[in-house]
A and B are shown apart, each in its own frame.
Chain A
Amino acid sequence: GAVVSQHPSWVICKSGTSVKIECRSLDFQATTMFWYRQFPKQSLMLMATSNEGSKATYEQGVEKDKFLINHASLTLSTLTVTSAHPEDSSFYICSARFPAEETQYFGPGTRLLVL
């Protein structure tokens, strides 16, 4: 199956700093990638849809200036959490749309802890 990687797996940062998370499709090209947030023991919440070469589409209630998304190539999307605060601590998961199968393949997730 298709493989999606995320980096880093874990990040701990101080309040007020910015954190960048990378999402890569390793063996296929993804024109569309998705960023989700998952709280403990809850389901995934879609934050935004990232389209290669264009602006991301954010879900209602997600601050686009807070969560900057850049999809500069067909294999890489980045999520930058700007001026992170403790309430931004969460598990962030990306996925990439695999066109031939109309499916999404997920990365392993990035756990962010803001102190």
Chain B
Amino acid sequence: DAGVIQSPRHEVTEMGQEVTLRCKPISGHDYLFWYRQTMMRGLELLIYFNNNVPIDDSGMPEDRFSAKMPNASFSTLKIQPSEPRDSAVYFCASTPSRHTQYFGPGTRLTVL
């Protein structure tokens, strides 16, 4: 299995631009999670899906962030408009069993 796939691996954009991060989970995993990691705040859960349905989005920082999972093999995290404080590494993780997380390699986002 290829593992969790994320794209792009690096994204540099200017403040105010729309950013879309993509994730392909491991086939057969019913849960998908989006995390954000920074030095200051560590690893934070943003939102998670079960069977493509958003279950808990309480970690989404504000309305500028949105996430979708149109099917079992694809999810997006969108930031519109982006701000410099959104700069972080964004991870997607999937799991068949709710808690054991299989992480992707992450997308390093820099907002100038």
A binds B: no
Binding site for A on B (CB under 8 A): none
Binding site for B on A (CB under 8 A): none
